[in-house]
Structure 1
Amino acid sequence: MIRDTSAQDQSLSTAGTAAPWKRWLWPALAALVVLLAIGFAIRAWLGASQSFDSARVRIAEVKRGDMVRDIAADGRVIAANNPVLYAISAGTVTLKVVAGDVVKQGQELAVIDSPELRSKLAQEQATLAGLEAEAGRAGLDATLARATAQKETDQATIDRQAASRDLERYQRGFDGGAVPQVDVAKAEDTVKKSEIQLQHARKDATLKAQGADLDARNKRLLADRQRAVVAEVERQVDALTLRAPFDGQVGQVQATQHTNVAINAPILGVVDLSRFEIEIKVPESFARELSLGIPAQLTSGNGQPFPGEISAVSPEVVAGEVNARIRFTDKQPQGLRQSQRMQARVVLDTRRNVIKVERGPFVEQGNGQVYVMDGSTAVRRPVKLGVSSLGEVEILSGLQPGDRVVVSGSDLFGDAERVSVN
């Protein structure tokens, strides 16, 4: 009889079968997460009318802090006093210096030979001599006229005295019965006539003296006028010799030796080496805030700072920029040269504890609207901007610290209220 393996078998209890819902729990949770992610993506896609790559925009965070409003620019060294000397008359120029020569005040730099101007001076001097002679003759005539008038007055005075004595004699004779009444009356008429003649002689003397003085004065005035003309021509002749207006250095020489130059032609320039200024170009948007006396800082090639201040601001705008000049307020670096480069920094003001953000094209392009990031969506929001510097702009309202703003590239969004930035 063959024995089976039943004696070796052991009875095991069978575990209960798991509930069907437990087998689908984890797959369901995974599917829910996927659906939520798809839902959020669809919501963001539906909320934004357009989608842009984040590499095409620049986003900056709004912060709170101090904002220094300054202007930084590359400056060019120029001489504060660098006049150009011109030819006062046409002629042949003879140069006494060359470009780069150090000159002293009053030193001859060039001489212009102008025969025309020298001839004009000789003519005017001759005219002056004639007018001075006429003025002297008029003065002599006035003296003679006064003397003649005085002579006539004296003669009339003597005639009156003689007539008075005759009247007295006739009156005594009439009182003694020796002279008739008619002779006394004639003597009285003679006295009256002499008195009238004396009055007219005195008046004629006054008028003749006034007339003679007036003629002499007119002649003197003509001579004085001609004297002024001669002085002006002499000044022009003297200006044919160009002299250094101050101690300095000869700049560019624009005339050629022993050549004929036209009137008002530039001859050469002189540079004042003791006074230099820095010329900078300022963007038009900052030009209205520049004024004389604003402090500035100038930096030379070795990094040493020098204090300065705005000394001049151009009244015109050229290519969107305004020229300004900065002068040294304390001392200037040694060895400065024309057209040398220096760094300039002009501090307009400092604003404490303001809300600010990095400056970008949105300042000019936004028209009071900026795009603020809400997750991956840029939402258009109105803001009020304050003053701005080269790197930052003040936020007056509409944004808070921590907000993220699209500062560059928002021109791609057009007028969309919401866009997606991936």
Structure 2
Amino acid sequence: MIQDTSAQDIALESKTNMKKVIFIVIVVIGLFFLGASMLFSSPSANRSIERASVQIATLEVGDLIRDVSATGRIVAANAPQLYSPEQGYVELKVQAGDTVSIGQIVATVESPELQNQLKQERSEMERLKGQLARQELDARRQTLQLTKTLDLAEVDLQAAEREERRAQASIVNNLISQIDLEKAVDDLARAKLSFKHAKQEVALAKDTLAFELDSARSTVSRQALVIDELVRKTTDLDIRATVDGVIGNLLSQQRSLVAQNAPLMTLVDLSAYEAELNVAESYANDLSLGMPVEISIGGQKIVGQLSGISPEVTNREVTTRVRFDQQDIAGIRQNQQLSARILLENKSNVLKVRRGSFVQAGGFVAYKIEGDVATKIDIQLGARSMREVEVLSGLSANDQIIISNYDEFIESDSVLLN
């Protein structure tokens, strides 16, 4: 007897449990894709880039030396030019590159006009000397004549005085008349007056002769100065080196006709060097004399100071001169290329970060890194040097930012770093 059908039944899993499992899997997958979608579409990560493709720097507090880079060359501190003192034909005694010593004759200018003028002035000097000697003889002759006139007036005065005394004695004895006495008195007065005028005329005549002789001597002295000046000019036709060094450039040809003050050659004093730097015009207002300068040349660093700043801008650059603190520098040559740092300012206890390409974006934004996300924030930069920049606002010490170029993701508010 068959009681029931239980022996033929097969146990099956519940369809309800299977549906729950499938539902849970679908929900998990949906949540995953939804989270990923929200992650890439949210403002915290508009784009994804490789962390290794960007440069990251940490902000710190410390000293910042504000400087500016420049390039230039070594120049001689003393490189005078030699000029022709007169018009004439130049004869060069040296070649470019020759070593010369101070006082050495390096060129001679032949000036026939100057030589002829010197001969004329010397001839004029001889004429003036002869004229002076003749005036001295005339002065002696005139002085003798004046002395004779004065002596005769004195003799006449003495004779008049004797006649006046004789008349006075004769009138007492009634030997002469009153009229004869008065005539003797008048003759004495006339003799005194003549002698007085003769003395004055002799004195005036001697002063005149002395004045004329002094004038003639002054003319001779002036002519001597003219000759001395011409002799000096003639001597200067032998052009001498003004420094110990080498001949730089020859600015005229051998036996060529040169004008007065025409440049002949350049000397280079190798005992003292300076650096000539070209600085961008944007830093022109920050430069001042005496600023320290670090120069890198030939594997060595040299310290100097700004000694000159050009007042004009050429090709958007300002030319400056740097004087070295030490002159015994080995291994440098004229026109040797160099690089330099001009130290503009030293600031202490400032928030700073390593300089990067992000500065070229204007220095108004930066990407601050928090975890794996870099978020764009507004910042303000201050002083800038070749290696570091000052951060005035928007960041704090120990913050990390991207300092490489932002052109690839500048439009994104945030970036995911993989």
What is the alpha-carbon distance in structure 2 between the residues aligned to residue 183 and residue 152 of structure 1? 28
The residue that corresponds to 2:328 in the other structure is 332
Alignment-derived partner of residue 206 in structure 2: 209
Q: 1:31: Cα distance to partner?
A: 9.0
- Within a 5 Å distance, the mapping from 1:341-352 to structure 2 comes to 341-352=337-348
Q: Structure 1 residues 388, 131: closer, same or farther in 2, change over 3 A? A: farther
Q: What's 2:349 paired with?
A: 353
| CA gap 1:160/1:259 in 2 versus in 1, 3 angstroms | same
| TM-score, structure 1 as length reference | 0.75
> Which residue does the alignment assign to 1:243?
240
Aligned pairs (5 A) from 1:287-298: 287-298=284-295
Aligned length: 402
- 1:145-294 equivalences under 5 Å are 145-294=142-291
Select the residue among 303, 306, 323 that pairs with 2:302.
306
Measure how far apart 1:419 and its partner are. Answer: 8.1
Q: 1:113 aligns with which of 90, 110, 113?
A: 110
Aligned-pair distance for 1:248?
1.8
Q: Give the structure-2-normalised TM-score.
A: 0.76
8 A contact 1:70–1:346 mirrored in 2: yes
Q: Percent identity among equivalent residues?
A: 36
CA distance in structure 1 between the partners assigned to 2:348 and 2:34 by the alignment:
51
Q: CA deviation at 1:8?
A: 8.0
1:329 CA drift (Å): 2.5
- 1:22-37 alignment runs, 5 A limit: none
After TM superposition, give the deviation of residue 77 of structure 1 in Å.
1.7
SS in 2 for 1:279: strand
The residue that corresponds to 1:322 in the other structure is 318
Secondary structure of 1:314's partner? Answer: strand
Distance 1:152 1:282 in 2: 90
Q: Aligned-pair distance for 1:66? A: 0.9
What is the alpha-carbon root mean square deviation over aligned residues? 4.4
Say if 2:67 is the partner of 1:70.
Answer: yes
AA of the residue aligned to 1:344: A
Looking at structure 1, the residues matched to 218 and 59 of structure 2 have their Cα atoms a distance apart, in angstroms, of 81
3-state SS of paired residue (1:317): strand
CA 1:10–1:392: 2 relative to 1, 3 Å: closer
Cα distance change, pair 35–267 in 1 and its aligned pair in 2 (3 A): closer
Shift, 1:116, TM fit: 1.9
Residue by residue, what CA displacement relative to the aligned partner does 1:327-353 show, whole Å, maximum 9, x if unpaired? 333333235432122343333342211
SS in structure 2 of the partner of residue 249 of structure 1: strand
> 8 Å contact 2:378–2:394 — kept in the other structure?
no
Q: 1:315 to 1:101 in 2, by over 3 A?
A: same
Per-residue CA deviations over 1:338-391 (Å, capped at 9, x if unaligned) read 21223433333422112345679999997xx9346588775667x584x54445
CA distance in 1 between counterparts of 2:296 and 2:200 reads 85
CA deviations over 1:116-142 (Å, ceiling 9, x no partner): 221122122222332333344444444
- Cα distance, 1:111–1:187 mapped onto 2, change above 3 Å: same
Distance across 2 between alignment mates of 1:294 and 1:101? 36
Q: Give the letter aligned to residue 342 of structure 1.
A: L
Cα deviation digits, residues 261-320 of structure 1 (max 9, x gap): 34433322222222222211223343444444444343331x233343333332322223
Structure 2 residues without counterparts, runs of 5 or longer: none
Q: Tell me: CA distance 1:294–1:114, structure 2 relative to 1, closer, same or farther (3 Å).
A: same
Q: Which deviates further from its counterpart, 395-404 or 180-189?
A: 395-404
Q: Distance in 2 between matches of 1:249 and 1:189?
A: 94
